[in-house]
Chain A
Amino acid sequence: MSFREKIHWVTLVTMILAFGWYFLVYPWRIVASPAGVMATAGMLVPVTIAIIVAMTVATAFLAIRSPREVHAREDERDRGIHMRGTHFGYYPLVVGIWINIFLIFWGIGQAEQLNLMIATLVVAEIVRIGTQLYLYRRGY
């Protein structure tokens, strides 16, 4: 497994764990109130820190274990895989944005909008990274 593929796995697992925790622990009973926005802000701080720390530690660890691959330039296959992943990740992003637009007209609260946007971003990222990992494994 290449260095890039390992980094993709670390990113995927980190995102699922961090945002899985966020959506499980979020106080959904206050989501419709102004306090829901503060809860979102307060919980996004540890989630962001956890992702940055986990990615930094994992990248450093993997770089020490395979120093030769760290400086390997992205080749045409890497670029093709990344473009396809981004292409597939675009669809859930657009669907989520449109759902959010309709729900804003419907009159949902700010915290609900925020959480829907976060969920959209997380799903799009998981689809993007998942597609890239699939293509690295199964061929492209």
Chain B
Amino acid sequence: MAKPPFSNDIRTLRFLAGEMTQGDLGDRVGVTRQTIAAIEQGKYSPSLEVAFRIARVFGKPLETVFQWDDAGD
């Protein structure tokens, strides 16, 4: 599978948010722990809704959580 043309800082943001687990984040966003793991590893591109929900959990704007990779253009 091709990697999505963007990266994310979810792992770092989870750590900064009191070492939140993937399962906790998944519960708050409404997806499974495996889906959070897949997003973190760049194996799955979330829908816009899930991306916004993740950003809202951390209280950050979307572009702080997900960054477009210019090399992927």
Which residues on the B side are within 8 Å of A75 (C-beta)? 30-32, 35
Q: How far is the CB of B17 from chain A (nearest CB, A)?
A: 21
Q: Does B52 contact A (CB under 8 A)?
A: no
Contact A140–B43 (Cβ < 8 Å):
yes
Judged by a CB distance under 8 angstroms, whether A56 is at the interface is no
Instruction: Identify which of A72, A138, A139 contacts B32 (C-beta below 8 A).
Output: A72
Inter-chain contact B47/A138, CB cutoff 8 Å = no
> What class of interface size applies to chain A in its complex with B?
10 to 19
Residues of B within 8 A of A2 (CB): 32-34
The reply to whether the CB of B1 lies closer than 8 angstroms to some CB of chain A is yes
Main secondary structure of the interface of B (DSSP, over half): loop
Task: Decide yes or no whether B44 CB sits under 8 A from chain A.
Answer: yes
Whether the Cβ atoms of B31 and A76 lie closer than 8 Å is: yes
Chain A interface main SS type: helix
The residue from B33, B41, B42, B50 contacting A76, defined by CB atoms under 8 A apart: B50
Interface residues of A in 42-62 (CB under 8 A from B): none
Q: Mark A63-97, 1 if CB is under 8 A from B, else 0.
A: 00000000010011110000000000000000000
Among A5, A72, A77, A78, the one with the most B-chain Cβ atoms within 10 Å of its Cβ is A77
Type the 1/0 row for A106-124, where 1 means its CB is closer than 8 Å to any CB of B. Answer: 0000000000000000000
Mark B residues whose CB is within 8 Å of A: 1, 30-35, 38, 41-44, 46-47, 50
Chain A interface (Cβ < 8 Å from any Cβ of B): 2, 5, 72, 75-78, 135-136, 138-140
